[in-house]
Amino acid sequence: MSTQQQETVVEEQKVQQPTEGEQEDQVKPSSVNPYEVGENVDYDKLISEFGCSKIDQSLIDRVEKLTGKKAHPFLTREIFFSHRDLNLILDNYEKGIPFYLYTGRGPSTESMHLGHLMPFIFTKYLQDAFDVPLVIQLTDDEKFFHKGDFTLEEYQKLAIENAKDIIACGFDIEKTFIFRNTDYVGHMYPNICKIQKAVTYNQLKGIFGVTPSDNCGKFAFPAVQAAPAISTSFPHIFGNKNVFCLIPQGIDQDPYFRMTRDVQYKLKVPKTACIHSKFFPSLQGFGTKMGSTVPNSAIFLTDTPKQIKEKINKSVSGGRATKEEQEQFGADLTVDIPYHYLRFFLEDDARLEEIRVKYSTGKMLTGEVKKELIGILQKIIGDHQEKRKAITNDKVLEYMKIRPLKFKTPQNQLEAKQEQ
Ligand code: TRP
pLDDT, one tens digit per residue, over 241-300 is 999 999 999 999 999 999 999 999 999 999 999 999 998 999 999 877 787 778 789 999
Distance of CA 295 from the midpoint of ligand 1 (Å): 24
Q: How far apart are CA 149 and CA 134, in angstroms?
A: 30
More confident residue, 18 or 343: 343
pLDDT, one tens digit per residue, over 157-168 is 999 999 999 999
Distance of CA 93 from the midpoint of ligand 1 (Å): 25
User: Three-state SS string across the chain, please?
Assistant: CCHHHHCCCCCCCCCCCCCCCCCCCCCCHHHCCCCCCCCCCCHHHHHHHHCCEECCHHHHHHHHHHHCCCCCHHHHCCCEEEEECHHHHHHHHHCCCCEEEEEEECCCCCCCEHHHHHHHHHHHHHHHHHCCCEEEEECHHHHHHHCCCCCHHHHHHHHHHHHHHHHCCCCCHHHEEEEEHHHHHHHHHHHHHHHHHCCCHHHHHHHHCCCCCCCHHHHHHHHHHHHHHCHHHCHHHHCCCCCEEEEEEEHHHHHHHHHHHHHHHHHCCCCCEEEEECCCCCCCCCCCCCECCEHHHCCECCCCHHHHHHHHHHCCCCCCCCHHHHHHHCCCCCCCHHHHHHHHHCCCHHHHHHHHHHHHCCCCCHHHHHHHHHHHHHHHHHHHHHHHHCCCHHHHHHHHCCCCCCCECCCCEHHHHHHC
pLDDT, one tens digit per residue, over 315-325 is 999 999 999 99
Sorted by where each starts, the structural domains of the chain and their CATH numbers stand as 40-283 (3.40.50.620)
Q: Is 50 exceeded by the pLDDT of residue 420? A: no
pLDDT, one tens digit per residue, over 42-101 is 888 889 888 999 999 999 999 999 999 999 999 999 999 999 999 999 999 999 899 999
Residue 246, strand partner residues: 101, 273
More confident residue, 17 or 193: 193
pTM reported for the whole predicted model:
0.90
Considering only 116-120, 182-186, 294-298, 349-353, which range has the smallest mean pLDDT?
A: 294-298
Closest by Cα among 416, 12, 380, 361 to 169: 380
List ligand 1's pocket residues with C-beta within 6 A.
102-106, 137, 139, 142, 225, 247, 249, 253
Q: Is 50 exceeded by the pLDDT of residue 27? A: no
Q: Is 80 exceeded by the pLDDT of residue 380? A: yes
Asked whether the beta carbons of 139 and 104 are under 8 A apart, the reply is yes
pLDDT of residue 107: 95
pLDDT, one tens digit per residue, over 197-249 is 999 999 999 999 999 999 999 999 999 999 999 999 999 999 999 999 999 99
pLDDT of residue 38: 47
Asked whether the beta carbons of 152 and 375 are under 8 A apart, the reply is no
Closest by Cα among 263, 267, 212, 259 to 242: 267
Distance of CA 130 from the midpoint of ligand 1 (Å): 22
**343, exposed or middle or buried, with CB in 10 Å at 0-12, 13-18, 19+?**
middle
pLDDT of residue 409: 55
Q: Is 60 exceeded by the pLDDT of residue 369? A: yes
Q: Is 80 exceeded by the pLDDT of residue 10? A: no
pLDDT of residue 286: 87
pLDDT of residue 34: 40
For atom 10 of ligand 1, which residue has the closest CA? 104
pLDDT of residue 39: 62
For atom 11 of ligand 1, which residue has the closest CA? 104
Distance of CA 1 from the midpoint of ligand 1 (Å): 27
CB-based contacts of 48, cutoff 8 Å, min separation 6? none
Q: Is 50 exceeded by the pLDDT of residue 410? A: no
Point out the ligand 1 atom lying closest to the alpha carbon of residue 250: 13
Tally Cβ neighbours within 10 Å of residue 302.
Answer: 15
Q: How far apart are CA 203 and CA 28, in angstroms?
A: 11
CB-based contacts of 386, cutoff 8 Å, min separation 6? none
Is the Cα torsion angle 217, 222, 225, 231 positive or negative in sign? negative
Q: Is 70 exceeded by the pLDDT of residue 29? A: no
Distance of CA 104 from the midpoint of ligand 1 (Å): 4
Residue 99, strand partner residues: 244
Distances (CA, A) of 239 to 182, 242, 261: 22, 9, 21
Tally Cβ neighbours within 10 Å of residue 297.
Answer: 22
Average pLDDT over residues 184-192: 98
Closest by Cα among 121, 188, 186, 184 to 156: 184
Q: How far apart are CA 104 and CA 384, in angstroms?
A: 19
Split at pLDDT 50, 70, 90, the class of 16 is very low
pLDDT of residue 289: 74
For atom 14 of ligand 1, which residue has the closest CA? 103
pLDDT, one tens digit per residue, over 106-152 is 998 888 999 999 999 999 999 999 999 999 999 999 999 999 789 99
